[in-house]
Amino acid sequence: MKLKNDFFNRDALLVGKELIGQYLINDSNEGKVVGRIVETESYCGTDDLASHASKDKSKRSKPMFGPAGHFYIYLNYGIFYMTNIVCDRVDYPAAILLRAVEIIEGQGIAAKRLRQSKFVKENKFLATGPGKLSIAFDISKSENDLDITKSADFYFEKNPKSILKSDIIKATRVGVDYAKHCKEYPWRFYLCNNEYVSKQQKSIG
């Protein structure tokens, strides 16, 4: 069952947590790539100094202020695209960064895409980090602001098998040392003992 607007149109921390275990799907003409989400980070509000929206609405962060269920895609380090899914109500900036998935279908397609990026090493870890995830799912700036509740190419599907609450680890977000007190926020979620979670794992219980 596809996840619809009502799933995403809620508090970003709740959505970030509940996205763990759900499926991200890219249905392309090359074939289908399916990933089980194992790591996310929430960014929300203008008070969150780690969020692009903290400097108020700019041309870049505009999708974060729009309706839930749209992609927010941007280029980082001049190299990697970051894939976010907008949540919560219109005019309240909130999004979930998809940091890692375990690819369970279409590994060959994902591997082929990754091979074309000279910054990614080829191995079985196809989407263990936000940059690699975007390449594996062929997500780039043309997908920015795409409504994934309407798109036939990109969508989320509910995993009928739910994840134990105790298997979801809370942690601090990665790469936001500049964000003053906000860098301590436990707004990162990942699946306990899963080898496809990206490497940095400072759990805070």
Tokens representing 186?
A: 């436990």
Minimal distance in Å, beta carbon 123 to DNA? 7
State whether the Cα torsion 170-174-177-182 is positive or negative.
negative
Minimal distance in Å, beta carbon 29 to DNA? 25
Return the closest-CA partner of residue 76 out of 135, 28, 122, 15. Answer: 135
Minimal distance in Å, beta carbon 163 to DNA? 22
Residues in contact with DNA by CB under 7 A are 41, 43, 50-53, 55, 58-61, 64, 72, 74-80, 82, 84, 95, 97, 118-121, 128-133, 141, 173-176, 178, 198
Yes or no: say if 109 and 116 are a contact pair by the CB < 8 Å rule: no
Rounded CA-CA distance 128/63 in Å is 25
Task: Please work out, in degrees rounded to the nearest 5, the angle formed at the alpha carbon of residue 153 by the alpha carbons of 148 and 158.
Answer: 60
Minimal distance in Å, beta carbon 164 to DNA? 26
Counted residue by residue, the chain has a size of 205
Minimal distance in Å, beta carbon 56 to DNA? 7
Tokens representing 81?
A: 């695209």
